[in-house]
């Protein structure tokens, strides 16, 4: 069984809170949950929706067809053509001033019910939340619990009125009832991309986060802020992105793990300092949370249009890594890997996400463990004091396990730490010497790119590995790839890349490459117009995909349209 | 250290013969020596320009970054390790042009950073274009009809923004410069010292003779925290150019305002925390 609910309304009508409420409710009952958000760049008005799918089976991606629409605006009534066979729409004809004769539309006079009970319209969300829960025959005590959790910081009085609103919702006589099969599972937890990245950063020892607010990267900025006190993190809102990344470099140079976050436009402003990170070999992690460009583009929507930009941004030759996690758990793991590689190789690392991933919730087992790999590569205190002949940019020392000279904390020793954006000698001072530059590049570029590449993990393979239809994607399309691989109609092999630059060595990804080479139909799927991922893979591994599926309307792929797309191809 | 010369690192400066920077460099070493500051206790930050090469020519920790971006880097360093003395060197182009926005916000934040601006009223390294402090109407190869923007008054700007220490000195009066430098370094909070500097190659107007006839030392006869009097004094520029401390206020610093680093430095707290409580 699989159900999809869409809650719609204007910005400011509590759509997000209601949607989160349902996500919590179904995950607390042990169902697998996937939810995502669709919203406009405005504070009030417009039309937003929050869509939740829950199931006893795995669920990772948006669905096209809706089993229940709960709408607080007229626009929500237009989703008739998206209703599943048994689908219904819940609305309040009085407050929308529109009545539908179609029997799939169920008029629930929320406001009238509230008025009769002496409650304000603001409890409309809670009444409707309870009413819908009742349609799914959910025991009222679970609904109480969710509402209590959400409004735990509110006064006793407000809480009491909320409970009253739940009772009103449950008392409404509803002909249509759905008996959900029991999930037989323990309650689950929910993570979204924001939390995933935040957990990864905090667990990697991020002690400094500077940013300028920009959708859809602001969530992580605020998550770090919310955890600043508990984990001793300095979180600073910079005057612009130039400042944000330069502050981050300063903090890292001084000895702490540091991160900044932005979206495409802000990342453009950061490009010069990205190159500075490469030149001065100062490790930083940059969150690049994509939205459709160019320029201001679609501020609150989603796209994977900055893959090649992330790989190529910044002037001059310098190494970097670009990781594009596929789900909230990978967000944590790859942010951690970004920090580790960045510190180990003294380079910038980019974590590439998008609006769809940062705003999507996924359920996980309650006892989920996130295993992070951490090692401090820096020279500190006594270790620095006793270090022989420290030079910040010393040429490679092959007598060491890691021949790269370590980063040292300035001030922890009488030895000095100096670096420069100009080409520099071993001590970090300006040079005009061509031979010195060649030796610096030997370390700063050639040695690093060769060794970083060995650390890159192969893509993950889902579904039937022997299938002659292979679907290949990256980043936030992991959910789609996994669900397509799980489909019961068509045997499909799905391959997901999350470590995109450098790409894994051919010899480390033989299995995936063989699956592709042996298939009749190879489809590259991505959320952009130009096929950036396809170009990247094709040029690296020297083969051509037979087909592609691209979407660039600012909305994420849904399962049904991708399956239709594959059918159309074969 | 036995002598200020112990700050020498043996690198020969790439400045023009006769450049005002030589005197500023020497004076800076003397100021540090007299304040009993050791090379490893300071981090020097700079951007791009002739003045930004300063950190290369003495023993210190240093980060020579991008044009205009020295203040954000310095702020990051100072917050991560507030026990380091963070000192920034820049020119009029670096600080007042390319880095103008960062300067404005450094005034607001008030980090414990000393900023020395070598103000020679011209772009030296790029060979003679107008800078934000070049006088109105000055002709250059890039300004064929003369500089058509009014020059910035950095002191008035700083005082208006409540910069917690504002002073002016002159590369031709090194004793004065040394005292101002010492005061600025010891000041707790953001300190701006605008140093009038000779550019022998590209500024033929504001040369030593020009300044010598105009500059005079003053000791404020008003309360240094009196913003209006300080602002009034900062308007004096032309036939008479005052050198001295214009304004000083006891504002709490950015580092002090940040509760997390009230006791320990951020760098001393570097760890890998347990994230179990976040997974819920």
Residue A184's pLDDT band (cuts 50, 70, 90): confident
> Is the Cβ–Cβ distance between A73 and A91 less than 8 Å?
no
The pLDDT value recorded for residue A545 is: 98
Sequence-distant (6+) residues with CB within 8 A of A557 are: A61, A62, A477, A480, A525, A527, A549, A551
Q: Which residues of A touch B255 (CB under 8 A)?
A: none
Token pair of B41 as six digits:
């206790």
Return mean pLDDT, chain A.
96
pLDDT at A27: 97
Is A481 exposed, middle or buried, given 0-12, 13-18 or 19+ CB atoms closer than 10 A? buried
Confidence category of residue A179, pLDDT binned at 50, 70, 90: confident
Supply the pLDDT for residue B147. 96
Please compute the mean of the pLDDT values over residues B229-239 and round it to a whole number: 97
The per-residue pLDDT for A76 is 95
Residue A391 and residue A409: Cα distance in Å, rounded? 12
Inform me whether the pLDDT recorded for A185 exceeds 90.
no
Q: Do strands A66-71 and A2-11 pair parallel, antiparallel, or not at all (unpaired)?
A: parallel
Q: How confident is the model at residue A183 (pLDDT cuts 50, 70, 90)?
A: confident
Q: Beta strand pairing status for B241-248 and B165-170?
A: antiparallel
* Segment A220-265, tens digit of pLDDT: 999 999 999 999 999 999 999 999 999 999 999 999 999 999 999 9
Are A437 and A443 in contact, with CB atoms under 8 Å apart? no
Written as six digits, the tokens of A305 are 């249009």
Cβ of residue B37 closer than 8 Å to a chain A Cβ: no
pLDDT, tens only, A365-387:
999 999 999 999 999 999 999 99
**Which of A142, A173, A194, A147 has the alpha carbon at shortest distance from A36?**
A194
> Is residue A499 a contact partner of residue A456, using CB atoms and an 8 Å limit?
yes
Cβ–Cβ below 8 Å for B260 and A229: yes
SS3 string, B30-41, reads HHHHHCCCCHHH
Give me the pLDDT at residue A175, please. Answer: 85
What's the pLDDT score for residue A215?
96
* pTM tops 0.95: yes
User: Which residues are CB-neighbours of B221 under 8 A, at least 6 positions away?
Assistant: none
Which residues of chain B does A430 touch, with a Cβ-Cβ cutoff of 8 Å?
14, 53, 56, 64
Burial class from Cβ neighbours inside 10 Å (0-12, 13-18, 19+) for residue B36 reads: exposed
State the pLDDT at residue A446.
97
Please state which architecture CATH assigns to domain B13-278: 3-Layer(aba) Sandwich (3.40)
Peptide bond into A216 cis (omega under 30): yes
Question: Is the pLDDT score of A409 beyond 90?
Answer: yes
> At residue B114, does pLDDT exceed 90?
yes
pLDDT digits (tens, 9 = 90+) for A295-319: 999 999 999 999 999 999 999 999 9
- Answer yes or no: is the ipTM higher than 0.95: yes
- Say how far apart CA B175 and CA B219 lie, in whole Å: 15
Q: How many CA atoms lie within 13 A of A389 on its CB side?
A: 4
Q: What is the pLDDT of residues A470-490, one digit of tens each?
A: 999 999 999 999 999 999 999
The confidence score (pLDDT) of residue A537 equals 98
> Among A253, A254, A416, whose Cβ lies nearest the Cβ of B40?
A416
pLDDT reported for residue A295 = 97
Q: Which residue of A has its CA nearest to B44?
A: A418
A199 three-state secondary structure? helix
B101/A409 CB distance under 8 A: no
DSSP line for A487-511: -SSS--EEEEE-EEESPPPGGGSHH
Res B116 pLDDT > 90: yes
Query: Which chain B positions have a beta carbon within 8 Å of A242's beta carbon?
Result: 68-69, 72, 101-102
> In terms of Cα–Cα distance, which of B233, B275, B190, B79 is closest to A368?
B275
Answer yes or no: is pLDDT of A174 > 90.
Answer: no
| Least CB–CB distance from A421: residue in B11, B65, B278 | B65
Contact between B77 and A254 using a beta-carbon 8 Å cutoff: yes
* Residue ranges per structural domain of chain B: 13-278
* Percent of chain A scoring above 90 in pLDDT: 96
Q: Are A387 and A413 in contact (CB under 8 A)?
A: yes
DSSP at A174: -
Q: How far apart are the first and last CA of chain B?
A: 56
pLDDT tier for residue A182 given thresholds of 50, 70 and 90:
confident
Q: Does B145 touch chain A (CB under 8 A)?
A: no
Residue A503 confidence (pLDDT): 98
Q: Which of A229, A246, A414 sits opposite B73 (nearest CB)?
A: A246
In A336-478, DSSP assigns E strands to: 348-354, 361-364, 418-420, 460-463, 469-474
Please tell me the predicted confidence (pLDDT) of residue A402.
87
Taking CB atoms and an 8 Å limit, are B81 and A250 in contact across chains? no
Please name the residues between 104 and 143 in chain B that touch chain A, using a CB distance below 8 Å: 104-105
Nearest to A240 among B101, B259, B278 (CB): B101
B259–chain A Cβ distance below 8 A for any pair = yes
**Chain A hits for B260, Cβ within 8 Å:** 228-229, 232-234
Please report the pLDDT score of residue B125 as a whole number: 87
The answer to whether A306 and A267 have CB atoms below 8 angstroms apart is: yes
């Amino acid at each position: 069984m699989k159900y999809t609910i869409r809650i719609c309304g204007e910005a400011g009508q509590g759509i997000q809170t209601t949607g989160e409420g349902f996500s919590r409710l179904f995950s607390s009952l042990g169902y697998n949950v996937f939810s995502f958000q669709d919203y406009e760049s405005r504070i009030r008005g417009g039309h937003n929706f929050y869509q939740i799918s829950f199931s006893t089976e795995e669920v990772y991606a948006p669905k096209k067809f809706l089993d229940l629409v709960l709408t607080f605006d007229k626009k929500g009534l237009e989703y008739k053509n998206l209703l599943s066979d048994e689908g219904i729409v819940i609305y309040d004809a009085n407050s929308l001033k529109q009545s539908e004769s179609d029997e799939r539309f169920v008029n629930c006079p929320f406001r009238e019910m509230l008025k009769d009970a002496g409650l304000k319209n603001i409890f409309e969300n809670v009444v409707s939340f309870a009413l819908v829960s009742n349609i799914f025959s959910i025991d009222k005590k679970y609904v109480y619990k969710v509402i209590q959790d959400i409004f735990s910081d509110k006064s006793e009085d407000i809480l009491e009125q909320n409970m009253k609103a739940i009772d009103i919702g449950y008392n409404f006589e509803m002909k249509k009832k759905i008996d959900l099969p029991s999930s037989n599972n323990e309650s689950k937890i929910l993570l979204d991309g924001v939390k995933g990245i935040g957990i990864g950063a905090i667990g990697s020892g991020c002690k400094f986060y500077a940013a300028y607010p920009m959708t859809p990267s602001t969530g992580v900025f605020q998550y770090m802020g919310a955890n600043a006190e508990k984990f001793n993190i300095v979180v600073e809102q910079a005057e612009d992105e130039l400042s944000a990344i330069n502050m981050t470099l300063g903090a890292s140079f001084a000895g702490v793990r540091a991160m900044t976050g932005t979206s495409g436009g802000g990342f453009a402003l950061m490009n010069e300092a990205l190159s500075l990170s490469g030149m001065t070999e100062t490790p930083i992690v940059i969150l690049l949370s994509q939205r459709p460009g160019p320029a201001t583009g679609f501020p609150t929507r989603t796209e994977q249009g900055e893959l090649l930009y992330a790989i190529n941004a910044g002037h001059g030759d310098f190494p970097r890594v670009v990781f594009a996690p596929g789900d909230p758990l990978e967000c944590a793991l790859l942010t951690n890997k970004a920090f580790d590689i960045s510190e180990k190789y003294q380079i910038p690392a980019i974590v590439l996400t998008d609006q769809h991933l940062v705003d999507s919730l996924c359920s996980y087992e309650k006892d989920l463990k996130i295993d992070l790999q951490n090692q401090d590569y820096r020279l500190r205190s006594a270790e620095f004091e006793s270090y022989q002949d420290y030079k910040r940019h010393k040429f490679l020392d092959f007598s060491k396990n890691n021949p790269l000279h370590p980063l040292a904390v300035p001030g922890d020793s009488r030895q000095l730490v100096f670096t420069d954006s100009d080409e520099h000698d071993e001590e970090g001072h300006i040079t005009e010497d061509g031979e010195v530059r060649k030796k610096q590049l030997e370390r700063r570029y050639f040695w690093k790119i060769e060794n970083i590449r060995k650390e890159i993990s192969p893509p993950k393979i889902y579904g039937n590995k022997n299938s002659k239809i292979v679907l290949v994607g990256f980043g936030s399309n992991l959910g789609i790839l996994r669900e397509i691989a799980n489909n019961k109609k068509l045997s499909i092999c799905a391959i997901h890349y999350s470590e995109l630059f450098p790409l894994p060595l051919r010899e480390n990804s033989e299995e995936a490459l063989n699956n592709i080479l042996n298939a009749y139909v190879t489809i590259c799927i991505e959320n952009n117009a130009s096929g950036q991922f396809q170009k990247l893979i094709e040029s690296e591994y020297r083969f051509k995909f037979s087909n592609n599926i691209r979407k660039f309307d600012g909305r994420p792929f849904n399962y049904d349209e991708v399956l239709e797309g594959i059918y159309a191809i074969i | 250290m036995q002598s200020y010369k112990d700050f020498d690192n043996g690198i020969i400066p790439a400045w023009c013969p006769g450049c005002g920077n030589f005197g500023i460099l020497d004076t800076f070493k003397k100021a540090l020596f007299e304040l009993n500051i050791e090379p490893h206790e300071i981090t020097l930050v700079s951007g791009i320009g002739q003045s930004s090469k300063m950190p290369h020519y003495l023993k210190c920790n240093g980060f020579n970054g991008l044009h205009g971006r020295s203040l954000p880097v310095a702020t990051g360093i100072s917050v991560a390790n507030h026990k380091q003395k963070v000192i920034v060197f820049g020119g009029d182009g670096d600080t007042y042009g390319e880095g103008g926005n960062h300067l404005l916000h450094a005034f607001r934040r008030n980090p414990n950073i000393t900023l020395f601006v070598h103000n020679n009223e011209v772009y030296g390294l790029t060979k003679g274009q107008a800078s934000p402090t070049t006088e109105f109407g000055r002709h250059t190869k890039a300004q064929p009809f003369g500089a058509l923007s009014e020059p910035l008054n950095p002191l008035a700007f700083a005082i208006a923004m409540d910069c917690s220490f504002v002073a002016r000195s002159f590369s031709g009066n090194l004793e004065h410069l040394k005292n101002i430098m010492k005061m600025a370094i010891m000041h707790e909070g953001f300190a701006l010292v605008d140093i009038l500097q000779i550019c022998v190659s590209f500024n033929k107007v504001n040369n030593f003779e020009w300044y010598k006839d105009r500059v005079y030392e003053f000791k404020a006869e008003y309360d240094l925290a009196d913003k209006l009097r300080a602002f009034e004094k900062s308007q004096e520029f032309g036939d008479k150019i005052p050198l001295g401390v214009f304004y000083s206020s006891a504002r709490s610093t950015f580092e002090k305002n940040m509760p997390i680093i009230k006791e320990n430095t951020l760098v001393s707290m570097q760890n890998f925390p347990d994230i179990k409580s976040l997974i819920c």
